[in-house]
Amino acid sequence: MPAFLLFGSTFMQQNHFEIFGLPVSYAVDRQALAKRYRELQQEFHPDRFAAKSEREQMLSMQYAAQINEANNTLKDPVARAAYLLQLAGVEINPEQTTADGEFLMQQMMLREQLEDVRTAADPEAELDNLGSEAGQLFKAQEAAFASALSANALEEAKSALLKLQFLAKLQRQVEELEEDLLD
């Protein structure tokens, strides 16, 4: 670790929620986050240190990067869930997937539907349906995650996270296909 971090403040050791003065919880006040984010960048962005010493410029870059990382994590529902589990000491292997057979079956069917969209009579309507279904499933897993986490049922929360990852990927694929169809 570079020497200058040794002097480091409590800032670098704060968790992402603490940086923004938010409670450690799955529900995040997006507006408060955005406001606090801008306030912090007003203080620490390298542009504020362009005329300061080299050391301060370097520190400011690290702080600003840290603030950005924290903001990106909290903004993104899946990254936020993964981070909360990490804070709770649960390890998540990137290769790990859900073992819920019923959920996997459902996912397979949704993927098949996605593949059939191109040849459907009304691809756009079909895609819209699929998109909103994926959205609803996502919301349901978010609720499941939040309640599992607040009940400290970490295994259950982890299972919800793995499903969220699946659904987020499905949503991305729906969006990509949408873009393809528009062209």
Residues at the site binding other proteins, with contacts judged by CB under 8 A: 1-4, 7-11, 21, 38-48, 50-56, 59-66, 68-69, 71-72, 175, 179, 182-183
Q: Closest CB to other proteins among 7 and 152?
A: 7
- Quote the least distance from Cβ 100 to other proteins, whole Å: 28
| Closer residue to other proteins, CB minimum distance, 80 or 149 | 80
**Residue pair 81/150 in contact by the 8 Å Cβ criterion:** no
With contact defined as beta carbons under 8 Å apart, do 3 and 62 qualify? no
Distance CA 82, CA 79 (A): 5
Residue 174 CB, shortest distance to other proteins, in Å, is 12
Cβ of residue 84: shortest distance to other proteins, in angstroms? 20
End-to-end CA distance of the chain: 48
Helix, strand, coil abundance in the chain, percent, nearest 5: 75, 0, 25
Nearer CB in complex with other proteins: 37/159: 37
